[in-house]
A = this chain, B = another copy of it.
């Protein structure tokens, strides 16, 4: 005799995780994480020119990554004169914690 299939079958969670996946996708590039880490550690907002100078990427590519972070509401841009400065969104950690919590319920915390 063989091993029977586990009974009863498990129901797949019905919730839609499209939004959370979009958040994680925005975090799924090392250069974007570098940008976020820099913003998180900076006392003030950070000039785009610092990113183009400090990252091994051309200026359009930096701008592209900043746009992805903007679209995900992870950063905010503000123009002062010729330069544009970026800041980390205030609720980044809260949103990430919420996304994580919606996937892994409290039970897993223990």
B5, B30, B33: the one contacting A49 at CB < 8 Å is: B5
| Residues A10 and B46 in contact, CB atoms below 8 Å apart | yes
User: Residue A73 at the B interface, CB < 8 A?
Assistant: no
Question: Whose C-beta in chain B lies nearest to the C-beta of A19?
Answer: B30
| Residues A6 and B85 in contact, CB atoms below 8 Å apart | yes
| Residues A51 and B12 in contact, CB atoms below 8 Å apart | yes
| Residues A104 and B92 in contact, CB atoms below 8 Å apart | yes
Interface residues of A in 14-60 (CB under 8 A from B): 15-18, 20-22, 24-25, 27-30, 32-38, 40-42, 44-47, 49-51, 53-55
A-B contact pairs, 25 of them (CB 8 A): A5-B47, A5-B49, A6-B83, A9-B50, A10-B38, A10-B44, A10-B46, A12-B38, A12-B55, A18-B30, A21-B28, A21-B33, A24-B25, A24-B33, A27-B103, A33-B103, A36-B103, A37-B103, A37-B104, A40-B104, A88-B104, A96-B100, A96-B104, A97-B100, A100-B100
